[in-house]
Structure 1
Amino acid sequence: MAPVYKVALVQLYPKPLAPAENFKKAESFIRDSAAKGCHLAVLPEYHLTSWVPDEPSFKESCAESTAYLQKYRDLAKELGICIVPGTIIETEGSSLLNIAYFISSDGSIAGRYQKKNLWHPERHHLVSSAHAPHRAFDTPLGRVGLLICWDLAFPEAFRELIADGAQMICVPTFWTLRDVSDEGLALNAEGEALFVNCAVVSRAFENTCAVVLANAGGPPEKGEATSFAGQSQVGVPHVGALGRLGRAEGVSLVDLDMEVLRIAEGNYKVREDMKAEGWHYAYTQIRDGDGTSKL
């Protein structure tokens, strides 16, 4: 039988420009989750600084937040838990990069990903990974891929990770209900939550994979009356959304049975088709390093 992994979806409120305070809260959630037997904790995008790029001290706060990568590595090793610490904004000269990491339970970095599909307002501030390929990587939980927030809208990103063997794809997000036009809000005030819920489950079905999404929520005093979409969840084929949260800050613990993915692939044969010679979407064909199709 395939393993069952316990995943902590840490849906916290990222207080603007307060990396020390936000880290302290995240650390508390992770410690509690590890004590309950979790194998993996996933945090939201921008969880250390929030997204306030027009604030004068934003870049300074981002430069400070990069030191927290080592703190998360130390925490993972201490607790024996894998951690996706949301995203960490890194500076490269005058440029800002939005980076997600997968930290293994021994504290090592198993994977690093720079956000490719930038939300329109982000393009004034961040640099995309552009044409760099999406790559999966090996972890204590199997082969994993990383995507970030608006990447969720692009099936091509998932397909490229599946072609590289990913079984689980972690997606830190900073998705709000208000980041659309007034016309969009008039059509459906909860439209962005609907987008997230539909896309997570669809990507899980169409790729026979698990999609682990952790979004921002809260702040605590507002509860469900927040502008953050929340909806942190694990999407899996056949079953749908597991452990879905509302919009308030909180943690959801999910038992992810990897056997479900084997059953789904047996039914849908998505990966089997992608291995076939003559596969009509050549850029997603599953191949070995020597160029031959994987078995």
Structure 2
Amino acid sequence: MAPVHKIALIQTHPKPVAPTENFAKASAFIKDAASKGCKLAVLPEYHLTSWIPEDPSFKESCADSADYLVKYQELARELNICIVPGTIVEIHQDDNGEALLNVAYFISSTGEILGRYQKKNLWHPERHHLMGSAHEPHAAFDTPFGRVGMLVCWDLAFPEAFRELISDGAEIICLPCFWTMKDISDEGYALNADGEALFLNSTVVTRAFENTCAVVFVNAGGPADKGEDTNHAGLSQLSVPHVGSVGRLGRAEDMSIVDLDMNILKIAEDNYKVREDMKTEGWHYAYTQIRDGAKL
């Protein structure tokens, strides 16, 4: 019998350049999730600092990124829960000077770092401030839940990123995000004020179906006291094939606890055989008719 994993989707509202306050809030959510039997907690992108790179204090607020990573490791060990602490913005120094990296980690329940991923597909305005992971391959890694891959926000728009992780055996894709309703032009917004929600709800579910995988999508939310009256898109959800979206949140800060039944992924692969096809040589559409068990 395939296992069922209890996962916390923690849709926080990151306060700008306030890592101490944001960490305290995230920790409270994680402790609550652990007390309710969750074995994995996932936070949004930029959850410690929000994303205001033009603010003079933004880079300073990222200076203690290594310390916060250690704090999450200690919290995971204390609560016996795996944690994906959204993304943490790190200051990187090389021969060309300073650069900012947007990095997601997977921390085991023993505090060990099992996976690290630096955001590759940067949203257009981010490219003035961040350094992407360029030509580094997308790689899955082993966890207590099986093979897991990580992507971040705008990576969602690139099916190739998912395919590379699936080829490496990933069954679960964790995807922290910082997606708002107004990251597009006025012309795009005029076409459909709810267009970004449509993008997210459609694409997250599609990626789960077309890859026979689970997508753990956790986005930033708006302030809890404003309810749905916010520019933050929210909509954190677990998506799996056959079923679609599970535990989808609204747009305000909140937490959703969901059960991931790994048997669903097995049923989906038995039906769609996506992974089976991808493993065959020349799988790109080189199909022929099968007669009496022999390919012609």
Length-normalised TM-score, structure 2: 0.94
Q: Which amino acid aligns with 1:30?
A: I
Once residues 211 and 280 of structure 1 are traced to their aligned partners in structure 2, the CA distance between those partners, rounded to angstroms, is: 24
Range with bigger deviation, 271-280 or 134-143: 271-280
Contact in 2 for aligned 1:11/1:232 (Cα 8 Å):
yes
The runs of at least 4 consecutive aligned structure 1 residues that moved more than 4 Å come to none
Range with bigger deviation, 127-136 or 58-67: 58-67
Match of residue 102 from structure 2: 98
- 1:272 matched to 2:293? The reply is no
Q: CA deviation at 1:153?
A: 0.3
Match of residue 47 from structure 1: 47
Match of residue 2 from structure 2: 2
- 1:129 matched to 2:133? The reply is yes
- 1:237 matched to 2:205? The reply is no
Q: Which amino acid aligns with 2:81?
A: I
Match of residue 291 from structure 2: none
Match of residue 228 from structure 1: 232
Residue 116 of structure 2: which of 109, 112, 117 is its match? 112
Q: Deviations over 1:124-162 (max 9, x none)?
A: 000010110000000011110000000000000000000
Once residues 156 and 269 of structure 1 are traced to their aligned partners in structure 2, the CA distance between those partners, rounded to angstroms, is: 18
Once residues 279 and 77 of structure 2 are traced to their aligned partners in structure 1, the CA distance between those partners, rounded to angstroms, is: 37
Q: CA deviation at 1:281?
A: 8.3
Once residues 185 and 280 of structure 1 are traced to their aligned partners in structure 2, the CA distance between those partners, rounded to angstroms, is: 37
The within-5 A match list for 1:1-295 is 1-93=1-93, 94-280=98-284
Once residues 256 and 224 of structure 2 are traced to their aligned partners in structure 1, the CA distance between those partners, rounded to angstroms, is: 15
1:144 alignment partner, SS class:
strand
Identity %: 73
Once residues 107 and 196 of structure 2 are traced to their aligned partners in structure 1, the CA distance between those partners, rounded to angstroms, is: 29
Aligned residue pair count = 282
1:221 alignment partner, SS class:
helix
Q: Deviations over 1:37-72 (max 9, x none)?
A: 001000000000000000001111011233100000
Match of residue 289 from structure 1: none
Q: Deviations over 1:240-274 (max 9, x none)?
A: 00000000100000000000000000000000001
Contact in 2 for aligned 1:72/1:83 (Cα 8 Å):
yes
Q: Which amino acid aligns with 1:280?
A: H
Q: Which has the larger radius of gyration?
A: 2
Q: Which amino acid aligns with 2:119?
A: K
Once residues 281 and 100 of structure 1 are traced to their aligned partners in structure 2, the CA distance between those partners, rounded to angstroms, is: 34
Q: CA deviation at 1:182?
A: 0.5
Q: Deviations over 1:84-138 (max 9, x none)?
A: 0000001112100000000011100000000000000000000010110000000
Q: Which amino acid aligns with 2:83?
A: I
Contact in 2 for aligned 1:273/1:279 (Cα 8 Å):
yes
Q: Deviations over 1:161-194 (max 9, x none)?
A: 0000000000000000011000111111111111
Contact in 2 for aligned 1:19/1:65 (Cα 8 Å):
no
Length-normalised TM-score, structure 1: 0.94
Once residues 203 and 53 of structure 1 are traced to their aligned partners in structure 2, the CA distance between those partners, rounded to angstroms, is: 30
Alpha-carbon distance change, 281 to 83 in structure 1, aligned in 2, over 3 angstroms:
farther
Contact in 2 for aligned 1:7/1:40 (Cα 8 Å):
yes
